Structure 1
Amino acid sequence: MFSTFVAISADRSNDDNNKTSRVNGSSSPSSSTTPVPPRSKRNQVARACDWCRVHRIKCDSSLPCRNCRNRGGNCTKKKAAEIRTLPHAVRLEIERLRQRVQELEEQLQNATNTVSNGDDQTIRKQSRQSGTKKGWDGIHTRTAYSSQTQWYGPSSAFYFIGRMSAYLSAALDQPQDDHNMQPNSASRIFTSPTSTKQVPEELPAPPWDRRHISILDEAEFREHYKSLWVDSASTRKPSALVDIILALCMQYGVALTPDSSVDPTITGRPDGHVDINDASIAGRWYYRRSQALLVSELESPSIATLQCHIFSVVYLCNASFQNMAHTTLALAVRTAHILGLHLEPRENLPRPQRELRKRIWWTLYTIESKTCMKLGRPCSVPDMTATCQLPADDHELARLSVSNIAAYGDKVTWLTYSRLATTYIPQAPYDIMDTNTLIDLVHEVQGQLWVGKVNETHRTGHLCQWVSTFHPDKLPCQLDGTFHHGAFNAGIKMVFSDGTAWMVRFPRVGRVSDDYTDEKVAMEVTALSLIRNRTTIPVPRVQAWGPAASNPLGLGPFIIMDFVNGVSLSDLLQDPNAERPSRVMREDISDYDLKVIYRQMANLLLQLFKLNFDRIGSLPSPQTEVKSPTPPRPLTFKAHSILQNRGVDTFGDRAKGFATTTEYFQYVVGQDWEQLVHQPNSAVGPYDAKNKYVAFKVLRSLIPDLVHAKYDRCKFKLICDDLGLANLTVRSREDLTVVGVVDLEWSYIGPAQLFGSAPWWLLQDRPVNSTWDCKGDEAPKIAARYFKCLDIFIRILEEEEAKMPGHEERELSSLVKWSQASGAMWLHMLLSSGFNDHRSFPFTQLRQHFGLTEWARREKEFDNAKELEAFASRKVSELDRYDEALEKMEENKALMESGNMTKEEFIANALNELGGIRGSSSFVINHEMKNDEGLFYRVAAWLGLQAAKLR
């Protein structure tokens, strides 16, 4: 048998956190709203107005059009510029909300200043003004049996139907009643979902057969149901919970049963016909009795009372009684508050009861979120005082809560759906600008082709034969396990017949630029050799390596090293019960274990700090015999990510070196600027583009203030951008002794102050990631943990430095403390990881360090309205073309996945799309001409070369 190499997901949200080490052992500027003047060229319109279309003459996008103005007639076209794509609509809505948030923040600031001045007259004036503000758009419509109108918000189907009705009335010049356009339902025929007709008690579909609403404990319910029949074999005691469950079961059961089996007299009910036998109100007698029984429980509710309310909401929604469902939902929320379900359950409760309370609360939260979104009405559940954590979904709990369907795999149980629905519905990460999806889709397909080639080499036995050629005795070997995928590499353990184990590792196609795979491997080999020869840090010995040209299998460059036996520290530190996949260190790590880990990391850094270099740049290649006096510009984690994930080459002339730290920092911050300018989707709209424009300018202006004079021109250090706790392999879960340091890619020679900065890795996760994002100027909860760990690490570093020979001046600990006191640590995080979000934690901390007054002064220097408008207009235009190209590419991807297009054809079509959305010819920024005419042509040519190599 052979192992199959699994294709990699395109999701990169945590790529920089997933290491192959587990293989080795386991305030914003003001923005003008003045529109950009139209070009002299006539705008293309998707549809001409009625008059121009009848007379077959050209129409424009104004309202009314020029022809209708000249003739003095009515122009029936509704608006000048239609939304053409879904991403376009989403982007406009995000931009509108951003501007609204800014307006509200300014009003709050003005209100605070007014109150402090005690100007009562101004307060009354502001109160009157705020009282006349326009509320959220919506519609008043008659939707049910009653003639009364109800209000529905813009996210509701009723609002959409109302808008469609208004449009048809205008387009057809014929009044349309939007009430007649609404789908037929029981709520339009009957005033109530109840009836006096009694039906026999049945259970067509048990509630535990459907796990979308997991708020029942099966064992408890069965016991409760049996207890109702103790006194009589023919009549059970009344129970609101049993009644509403029976009603729901009948509703589902009848809906799945043909009409003739419910009533033999019904042989062909027309589509859309609703009568007393409609499935949506089946079981209504039980629903009615359940509601009658609940009246007596309103003053003293129980968990069962709340369960009844939630099931009643579901029943009413299924029967299309939306207003009754919304009202019942409010009652359920209030009942949950009365029972204290919004709070974390007491520890003295049994675990199944604690988890049941959590599931009920979060199920209610999810149902209310969906219902309010469906009706376009405000939510009532969000509560700042709520402390209830998300429910668990482990196997043990699943077996305790249900008898027959506990698990579906290693990590999936019947509880998983509800947990994930709660996690991913209320929260949506805002990472849409981090990656150029046009390029990302191509890389995904390239990666799939490469994985197929790897599978083939193993199936034929060529992989093991090739690895054996590097053994001194040419011993045979076999694959132990399967490929493990990190962010940039795929590796596998190979075991020889004598028991020797090696790690064979390849850069992953689609994740590492083909232009730099050879250099990436060579730099890591140099770093491993340097560290192994000049320190006592336990790094694996390199047995063999080679560029892509030397690999007869065609799998790209490779590195073969000793296998390190142990456990990945990253696996031990991650929280298995986290709300979503995250590398943030779990909170129950003891201070003792934390100090053991930090002490070893401090010792590692102190050894590396003793290595000094004369110039900033790349490490020498192992194959280069003659060293260049000026090393080339380094291949850094950030520069490569901007190229591979965003499609922007920011290296410039790599032959030009850097004499000072200041020069290098200016170059690195310029890489982020190049990304903003040239990546077509780097800004979500004009407001976002203007804010980022000014933020970058301010960030560049701070560099002279944050360079340490002592280390500006000397003592350059060996830096690994990705070095952190995830690179460590420890002996075992019980013994945290570090036995290996792996994955030293993205290594280069850089400034000492960048090496000696307050570490980003103290909690494993990068502070630039979305988990750390700030709300306004409020730091995230994780910030307090970070600062506590920073204090611990600095104390340990000082202790270790005092003991180590050659560190009497305590340079490294002094440099770390300087980075914290000066605020340079935040600049270092942005320079190393990238900056495309002015809400990130490091950027917010940097702004607060300089103070809002000083920051506002610097922003004002770059608040050039004309420049900002030109820049924002250009970014919006690029984003429009990007959205259109993305829709076409996603259509082609669907064809490929359905088998109607080959992967090679998909790549070829993708290159055409990339070549068709190139940017405008030039853009003037601060009197500097930035030519990007060939940007997408360069990207297309580069991707075409990769496709040709694969073919």
Structure 2
Amino acid sequence: MTFFDELAETEGDEEFKAWLSKMIDVKQEIVEFVASRREGNEIGEFDSYRKGSFNLSLVVRFSNGPKAVIRFPKPGHTATCLRDEKVRNEVNFISCLMELTTIPVPRVVSWGTTEESPQLLGPFMIMDYIDGTSLATILKQPTDSEKDEVILVTDVDEMVLDGIYEQLADYMLQLARLDFSLIGAIAKHSSTDKWTVDQRPLTYNMNELATVVSNYPTEGFPTVPFTSAKTYLHALADEHLIHLRTQRNLAADPEDARKRFIARHRFKQLVSRYCPDDTDTGPFKPFCDDLQPTNMLVDPDTLRITAVLDFEFTNSQPSQFAYDPPWWLLLLGPDMWLENHSMEEFTNRYIPRMEQFLRALERVEATQESRGGRRDNVRLSEEMRDSWATGRFWFDYGIRKSFDVDAVYWAALHREGDDDFLRNEMKEEMETFVEMKMEQLKAYDAECRERFS
């Protein structure tokens, strides 16, 4: 089970509410700011708000011309120390996609840092507003309330899904064909006019640790790009271990603490098993943790995808991440299936959809090759099949997610006898760790009682 730091979450929610109140107060100033950043000097009017997990957007309509949307990262839900960097990285990557791919993305009209924003609300992106229906809305099982799980409808139309999968397979194939020599944020080099990497990778997991774990040592985050996949994966495994020691309420009891200790140390040991030597030094591929139907718009009549949104925390990453079958094929992620359902239920429903997606990908690959398109040395469909067959899918998923790594290890990667070394050779260290976690939990519970009573 995943435990969050309620104290950190509450602090973040309070920070966001204070910021939201300020944003509402200066709504008209924001509308005028958006209008001033567009061509034509039109007068804008407030249209609506759009809320996401990490961002809040304000839509502005004009008497002539399309609507515009200004998007701000939400303080408290995006770490203050990361917000400017997050927006800059996303703007750069959207520009890269517009230049190098046919993936439909919204045009960025203007963007800026916190210092350039109205009332110092934060870094911003002003984009063309794109009409459409969320792809997840089209594909999900009907629910009674917004709090219900978003799961792929069980009686989905196979032909409809084939058409959607072929579009998404094409996008993933285009991304997998972009090569970079380093692991990190993607930007255009000013002197060469080429897309390259010269900044550290800023990831979804880093933001989670910085916002929902009290006192996580963010000064320990990477500061430069990585040249080696193995070195990078070891750094991710170290994030899990630091998280294990830092979040005071992560372990509910001594046995839970032992299982998390074993899982996270084993993940570090598994890097050598799941990171191929021939891809250790690249080329590396663009990877977006949040590339999923929730962040895609479709024309409800034609079911053509009109926009792919939210490329925040996208970086050049080890190629094996791009070579995994999509984790979102059931809409609800594997982590939530493991927490609320079971591995058996997940695989029983996931494997048929994975096979359907891979057949769609094979059709796209074959069509492109028959038209004289690029014949890849590495076929993406074959790599995805290998990822699932070897269990690399699960390793790659867990290594990116500090809050899910334990469940992934015990459900998918643990083998009988694998942890004997840890239980025997590191027994003293583990028991000392367990004592520390129980003392942390005691202090945390006392602080919660004082804070929430």
Q: Indicate conservation of the 8 Å contact 2:248/2:441, yes or no.
A: yes
Aligned to 1:706: 274
TM-superposed deviation, 1:628: 12
Q: How is 1:572-583 mapped onto 2 (pairs within 5 angstroms)?
A: 572-577=138-143, 581-583=148-150
Aligned to 1:726: 294
- SS state at 2:335 partner: coil
Percent of paired sites with the same residue:
27
Cα gap change, 1:632/1:622 in structure 2, threshold over 3 Å: closer, same or farther? Answer: closer
Aligned to 2:428: 866
Q: How is 1:765-914 mapped onto 2 (pairs within 5 angstroms)?
A: 765-769=332-336, 771-773=337-339, 779-804=343-368, 805-836=373-404, 838-840=406-408, 843-847=410-414, 851-853=415-417, 855-860=418-423, 862=425, 864-891=426-453
Cα gap change, 1:714/1:491 in structure 2, threshold over 3 Å: closer, same or farther? Answer: same
Q: Indicate conservation of the 8 Å contact 1:728/1:741, yes or no.
A: yes
TM-superposed deviation, 1:574: 2.4
Q: Indicate conservation of the 8 Å contact 2:262/2:419, yes or no.
A: no
Name the CA distance, whole Å, in 2 between partners of 1:623 and 1:463.
Answer: 31
TM-superposed deviation, 1:859: 4.5
1:485 matched to 2:46? The reply is: no
Cα gap change, 1:843/1:739 in structure 2, threshold over 3 Å: closer, same or farther? Answer: farther
Name the CA distance, whole Å, in 1 between partners of 2:307 and 2:95.
Answer: 14
Q: TM-score, normalised by structure 1?
A: 0.45
Aligned to 1:682: 250
TM-superposed deviation, 1:821: 2.0
- SS state at 2:126 partner: strand
Name the CA distance, whole Å, in 2 between partners of 1:537 and 1:656.
Answer: 29
Counterpart amino acid of residue 844 in structure 1: A
1:495 matched to 2:61? The reply is: yes
Aligned to 1:474: 41
Cα gap change, 1:621/1:686 in structure 2, threshold over 3 Å: closer, same or farther? Answer: farther
Q: 2:187 aligns with which of 595, 620, 634?
A: 620
Task: Show CA shifts across 1:708-755 (max 9, x none).
Answer: 2332112111111111122211011x4211111111111111111111
Q: How is 1:375-454 mapped onto 2 (pairs within 5 angstroms)?
A: 430-431=1-2, 433=3, 435-454=4-23
Q: Indicate conservation of the 8 Å contact 1:616/1:751, yes or no.
A: yes
- SS state at 1:763 partner: coil
TM-superposed deviation, 1:632: 3.3
Cα gap change, 1:859/1:798 in structure 2, threshold over 3 Å: closer, same or farther? Answer: farther
Q: How is 1:573-722 mapped onto 2 (pairs within 5 angstroms)?
A: 573-577=139-143, 581-620=148-187, 631-647=198-214, 648-649=216-217, 652=220, 654-722=222-290
TM-superposed deviation, 1:856: 4.6
Name the CA distance, whole Å, in 1 between partners of 2:362 and 2:410.
Answer: 28
Name the CA distance, whole Å, in 2 between partners of 1:674 and 1:686.
Answer: 18
Cα gap change, 1:872/1:812 in structure 2, threshold over 3 Å: closer, same or farther? Answer: same
Cα gap change, 1:542/1:628 in structure 2, threshold over 3 Å: closer, same or farther? Answer: closer
Task: Show CA shifts across 1:18-44 (max 9, x none).
Answer: xxxxxxxxxxxxxxxxxxxxxxxxxxx
TM-superposed deviation, 1:781: 1.8
Task: Show CA shifts across 1:103-130 (max 9, x none).
Answer: xxxxxxxxxxxxxxxxxxxxxxxxxxxx
- SS state at 2:329 partner: helix
Aligned to 2:118: 552
Name the CA distance, whole Å, in 1 between partners of 2:360 and 2:219.
Answer: 38
- SS state at 2:400 partner: helix
Q: Aligned residues, how many?
A: 447
Name the CA distance, whole Å, in 2 between partners of 1:476 and 1:592.
Answer: 45
Counterpart amino acid of residue 50 in structure 2: H
Q: How is 1:214-613 mapped onto 2 (pairs within 5 angstroms)?
A: 430-431=1-2, 433=3, 435-458=4-27, 461-480=28-47, 482-577=48-143, 581-613=148-180
Q: Indicate conservation of the 8 Å contact 2:206/2:221, yes or no.
A: no
Cα gap change, 1:584/1:825 in structure 2, threshold over 3 Å: closer, same or farther? Answer: same
Cα gap change, 1:709/1:811 in structure 2, threshold over 3 Å: closer, same or farther? Answer: farther
Name the CA distance, whole Å, in 2 between partners of 1:735 and 1:685.
Answer: 52
Task: Show CA shifts across 1:738-789 (max 9, x none).
Answer: 11111111111111111111211111222112x33388xx624232111111
TM-superposed deviation, 1:554: 2.4
TM-superposed deviation, 1:612: 0.7
- SS state at 1:833 partner: coil
Name the CA distance, whole Å, in 2 between partners of 1:877 and 1:789.
Answer: 45
TM-superposed deviation, 1:655: 3.2
Counterpart amino acid of residue 511 in structure 1: H
TM-superposed deviation, 1:618: 1.8
Counterpart amino acid of residue 516 in structure 1: L
- SS state at 1:478 partner: strand
Name the CA distance, whole Å, in 1 between partners of 2:189 and 2:86.
Answer: 12
Name the CA distance, whole Å, in 1 between partners of 2:282 and 2:405.
Answer: 32
TM-superposed deviation, 1:705: 1.0
Name the CA distance, whole Å, in 1 between partners of 2:76 and 2:221.
Answer: 25
Cα gap change, 1:628/1:865 in structure 2, threshold over 3 Å: closer, same or farther? Answer: same
Name the CA distance, whole Å, in 2 between partners of 1:578 and 1:834.
Answer: 31
Task: Show CA shifts across 1:369-396 (max 9, x none).
Answer: xxxxxxxxxxxxxxxxxxxxxxxxxxxx
Name the CA distance, whole Å, in 1 between partners of 2:407 and 2:340.
Answer: 6
TM-superposed deviation, 1:627: 9.9
Task: Show CA shifts across 1:642-684 (max 9, x none).
Answer: 1111131356263343221111111111111110011111111
- SS state at 2:18 partner: helix
TM-superposed deviation, 1:699: 1.6
Q: Indicate conservation of the 8 Å contact 2:267/2:399, yes or no.
A: no
Q: Gaps spanning 5+ residues in structure 1: where? A: 1-429, 892-951
Task: Show CA shifts across 1:398-439 (max 9, x none).
Answer: xxxxxxxxxxxxxxxxxxxxxxxxxxxxxxxx54x2x21111
Counterpart amino acid of residue 170 in structure 2: N
- SS state at 1:796 partner: helix
Name the CA distance, whole Å, in 2 between partners of 1:567 and 1:843.
Answer: 37
Structure index of larger Rg: 1
Q: Indicate conservation of the 8 Å contact 1:526/1:622, yes or no.
A: no
Cα gap change, 1:595/1:571 in structure 2, threshold over 3 Å: closer, same or farther? Answer: same
Name the CA distance, whole Å, in 2 between partners of 1:703 and 1:835.
Answer: 18
- SS state at 1:757 partner: coil
Name the CA distance, whole Å, in 2 between partners of 1:672 and 1:613.
Answer: 26
TM-superposed deviation, 1:446: 1.1
Q: How is 1:101-112 mapped onto 2 (pairs within 5 angstroms)?
A: none
- SS state at 2:57 partner: strand
Name the CA distance, whole Å, in 1 between partners of 2:376 and 2:193.
Answer: 36
More strand by share: 2
Cα gap change, 1:633/1:627 in structure 2, threshold over 3 Å: closer, same or farther? Answer: farther
Alpha carbon RMSD of aligned pairs, Å?
A: 2.4
Q: TM-score, normalised by structure 2?
A: 0.92
Cα gap change, 1:527/1:519 in structure 2, threshold over 3 Å: closer, same or farther? Answer: same
Aligned to 2:322: 755
Q: Indicate conservation of the 8 Å contact 2:50/2:59, yes or no.
A: no
TM-superposed deviation, 1:835: 4.3
Name the CA distance, whole Å, in 2 between partners of 1:468 and 1:837.
Answer: 45
